[in-house]
Amino acid sequence: MPIQRIMTKGRVPVKIYTDEVDSEAMQQLYNLSQLPFIHSHIAVMPDVHAGIGATVGSVIPTLGAIIPAAVGVDIGCGMSALRLSIQADQLPDNLRSLRLAIEAAIPVGFNMHKQDRARESTIRALSQGLHRLLQKHPKLYSLQKKPYQTWIRQIGTLGGGNHFIELCLDENQAVWVMLHSGSRGIGSAIGEYYTNLARKDMGRHLHNLPDKNLAYFTEGAEHYDDYVEAIGWAQDYAAANRREMLYLIAEVLRKKLPRFGVTKEVIHCHHNYVARERHFDATVWVTRKGAIRAGEGEWGIIPGSMGTKSYIVRGKGNPQAFCSCSHGAGRRMSRSAAKRQFDERHAEEQTLGVECRKDGGIVDELPGAYKDIDRVMEHQSDLVEVVHSLKQVLCVKG
């Protein structure tokens, strides 16, 4: 579908690819549209919902400035997916032992590996950059206990919230591994630190903002280059974290499944990140807060929720969306509201046929807490084409 709604009362237009936007999200979009450095317009994906300061599902092009809170604290959060060379009928009838084996290999929630598990090449590639960040800003030490040990032992770990690992089947009954995770504790520390630093740097000018969470760094300012360096490192860390998890998951699957290979369909994409791109005759920073890049021919991953479909897509390079699309279904109710409405009985009903936990700890992640993924896909038919439809048969939640 084309753009469904355009907000014009701000300094720049806000172009929205859905007609389903709540009032809190609309206010946040209006606040963003008043900032003086937004280029051209703001694009809003069909999974839009309110975030902290900036709206989840927004694509924000900026000239000479970056808003740390628009990226958020899970810097570089994103998806990875790969197709295995085996079919559904080669999976065991009961997947419980497989799920437990993955949960044993991949720490979830606040947990980390008890010893260094990341491959040496991964640690070596990241360590110099982190050392430089901590030397420049030693206060980052205080935001994470044992930062040098923790960042290494959290590589290859899932985290909590809406992060997950899944085994899925596509329309041809081929088996896929799909996962969702980000930059863990060190990314959160970097995001929190620089968001607070941006507020401090703005000083009395902070009061001119419609929301203090929209504090920003401008090009040439004291900490602008440091933030650019820090966010680049955190995005690299998040990508490395997902690669290491895929490596560990493959080790588990090789012990449990018939011999398999990995096809050429291996897909990686960030959906909370900043990148330098060219749009509407200007080189800008594009902040995708809950959105993925969908340039022409580019592959992407759009997950649904526990018990619903997910999609492997190919981008159409739509310029009005800054070559972007949604990063998932998007929440339709808060976590607290979901916990009030759903219980273990709903977990059983809404995850029927999926091997997963079905306890009270995952009710805020049930399909009922999310928008209809098929409706979301319908609204972004101008942005992507569907290549594969996936349905999970196993899900590990953070």
Write out pLDDT tens, residues 273-313: 999 999 999 999 999 999 999 999 999 999 999 989 999 99
Nearest C-alpha neighbor of 384 from the set 264, 302, 303, 304: 302
- Residue 163 assigned as binding residue: yes
Structure confidence at residue 36 (pLDDT):
95
- Residue 146, pLDDT > 90, answer no
150-199 tens-digit pLDDT: 999 999 999 999 999 999 999 999 999 999 999 999 999 999 999 999 99
How would residue 211 be classed by pLDDT, with cut points 50, 70 and 90?
very high
Q: Is 327 a catalytic residue?
A: yes
356 lies in some domain? no
365 lies in some domain? no
User: For a pLDDT cut of 90, what percent of the chain falls above it?
Assistant: 92
39 lies in some domain? yes
Structure confidence at residue 103 (pLDDT):
97
CATH code of residue 255? 3.90.1860.10
Mean per-residue pLDDT, 69-83: 96
Q: Which domain holds residue 211?
A: 5-332+370-397
Structure confidence at residue 349 (pLDDT):
95
Distance CA 330, CA 44 (A): 12
Distance CA 256, CA 258 (A): 7
53 lies in some domain? yes
Structure confidence at residue 105 (pLDDT):
97
- Residue 333 assigned as binding residue: no
241-270 tens-digit pLDDT: 999 999 999 999 999 999 999 988 899 999
Structure confidence at residue 359 (pLDDT):
93
User: For a pLDDT cut of 70, what percent of the chain falls above it?
Assistant: 100
- Residue 23 assigned as binding residue: no
How would residue 53 be classed by pLDDT, with cut points 50, 70 and 90?
confident
Domain count of the chain? 1
253 lies in some domain? yes
HSE-CB at 389 with a 13 A cutoff on CA atoms is 6
336-376 tens-digit pLDDT: 999 999 999 999 999 999 999 999 999 999 999 999 999 99
16 lies in some domain? yes
Nearest C-alpha neighbor of 43 from the set 15, 76, 84: 15
- Residue 164 assigned as binding residue: yes
Structure confidence at residue 264 (pLDDT):
85
Nearest C-alpha neighbor of 35 from the set 289, 214, 227, 225: 214
- Residue 305 assigned as binding residue: yes
363 lies in some domain? no
- Active-site residue, from 270, 327, 379, 388: 327
70 lies in some domain? yes
Q: What is the pTM of this model?
A: 0.96
Structure confidence at residue 68 (pLDDT):
96
- Residue 304 assigned as binding residue: yes
Structure confidence at residue 143 (pLDDT):
84
86-141 tens-digit pLDDT: 999 999 999 999 999 999 999 999 999 999 999 999 999 999 999 999 999 998 88
